[in-house]
Structure 1
Amino acid sequence: MRKRILGALFSYSVIGLITLGLIEGILQLVQLQSIRSIEIARKLYQLSSREEYLGRYCHSYIWKSNFIQAYGQHREDFLSSSGLHVPHKTRGWTTKPNVTVEVGEKQYTTNNRGHRSQKDYQEDERKYSVLIVGDSYTFGSDADDSYAWTNLLQQKDERLQVINLAVGGYGIDQMYVTLKEEIDSYNPDLVMVAYISDDVFRLKYDFRDYKKPTLQVKGGNLEIENTPIGGIEETHQEIKAELQKEDIAILKLDDLLFNLKISCRYPPYSLFSKVMGQMQLLAWEESAQFLAVYLASGAEVEEKSHESRGEEVFQRWAEENEIETLNTRPYFLQGSGYQGGHYQQAEATIVSDTVYDKIMDLESWKKFVETNR
């Protein structure tokens, strides 16, 4: 009996190895340009070519590879290119305080707290305090200080105190970590989370422009992982070792499994909902109102029929929760001429106007006005 079992295991092992060998041979064959004219070969190539697949499914691997290449070639990376950012042990990276840099004809200014602002922060109980977390669209990347939408919002009403904690490249997870760590330093009347569709997908990354935190739900609690985050040299050594370990360059079967793993890493709605709920709770614990703002970007602002995952989860979360929300997309669709990319003056004006109008309707604002008559 034992010999029969061992014999069967041996036979199945041989069959398995032969099958894997045949699959590997086929996958290697379809890498040839001449073979890819056949439809099924082209599809197999797309599934087993890491570069081809990564072009359609953005993933941490791309960002890690770019980071290693830039470091090895002594090229400027995200942290050094503008002089605005430094590594951060829990958020990945953050903006430097007290910096004024010029990129082309545009000026970027941060204040004493590292906010994108031309004025130093000083608590003022006489003002309605708006604490904002977000990404590059809210930080104001590619826009002069004059046309960051948060600065335009500040200019609209002297009764406001706008605190812009947004940082370029941030995902929903880094916004949460920032809010969790910073909210006690302020006394906000309103906490605002402003994000674009892509920020939802960033929940699945453990590296983007730089190493970043990840979030997991364990035992019903939201836990921060992939920290602490070290300096540039330490991170370079860590990521370089990781890529060398997981990348078997000669095996296309390895690439196929890698690609299938990427396609399965779709950020679940449950994680997004948990993160947004926790930010809402952080605001309430500080007796602040909470506002979620969806910032339209790309094709969303010009094509009425366009559908995006980010807007879909935003709308679903808004419907499932009694919470104040603002979707800027309908306001963009009323206009024309936006060519995509980060907001410039016209787009920033649309956002600042719609956000201001929304604030004017909030209960916390009405209470503030009544108290300060």
Structure 2
Amino acid sequence: MNVTFKDVAELANVSTQTVSRVTNGSLNVAPETREKVNAAIKQLGYIPNKGAQILGRAKSKMIGLVTLDILLHGASLLANGVRKQAKNLGYGTSLSVIADPAIDKITTAVDDLKAQRVEFIIMNIPLSSDNAEMLVVQYSSIHFVFIDVPPDSQVNSVSGASYNGAKIAAELMLSLCRKRLLFINGPQGSSASRLRLQGWLDVLKEDADSKIINQFEGDWRASSGYRCMRQALSDGHDFDGVLVANDQMALGVLRALSEFNLSVPQQVSVIGFDDTVDSAYFTPPLTTIKQDFLTIGERAVLLAFSVADKAKKSYRHESIVTELIERKSTQAYRPPQANEQKIKVLLKQIEKLLIE
């Protein structure tokens, strides 16, 4: 009876993938595990199939993509850019979606893609410089391109110009005489989120009359924008403009403002970020900062192939320009007319009488 990988794996109490790594001479195996596998091979008299090993070492015609939830518009559009460019180069795309961007989850995803013999992996996951650089060292046979890492990271990366886009949004708010602003930012762990916040802050600190009423942290989803805005309104914050770090959260913001009977843009102006395909159809249509996710995905693939062709290790960062798209969720601040003030006073008097 022929001895198989499975027989060796069962005797050594390891996975068949681990047996494959040992027989292929992979360094990514703990010494004690390697000893157990070799002992099982010797005991069973297992003879590796060299032809299968040679075939297994063949390079994959797939590009790996480790990404955030593709229900997020930005992640979905970026994945499409990767897929299209990979297809142009004669490659398929192998997708790994991660809900929790913890480093152990990320390394597991990379291990799975490496087992498929991929050479190129696009990382659309928020990572610190240390973790991104650690992945490059740990998986030296893979050509990585990162989408959401700090600009000074010693890795290859492509991203939208978050800082510049955020500055444009804040400058527009001030030009419309919107001086009391609320910030709804993305997750703190995201470099793109931190850059947008810094862009807003840098513009407002140059204007002595402007004021940051409060800051909230969302998770890129519409539901978090809704919750943050509900919280701000329930707390009684007085603001006339809201800067939001992406369009999906801005959608939630618009709903909450509507539920509190605040008119957009008359009482409150709202600016998003991304210019997702649906933002032109929000109520009202959303003013936003356009970020070309499709191009970011395409450029990431081209950068991965470009650096693979270079013998010398040098890291490159590409920044894709962002631009302002003005729609109907913003307008210049107009002080309430005298009759409006009188109506408000009368309503308060009526309310007081009803209570009494």
TM-score, normalised to structure 2's length?
0.33
Higher helix share: 1
Q: Which has the larger radius of gyration?
A: 2
TM-score, normalised to structure 1's length?
0.32
User: Which structure exhibits the higher relative contact order, with contacts defined as CA atoms closer than 8 Å and separated by 6 or more residues?
Assistant: 1
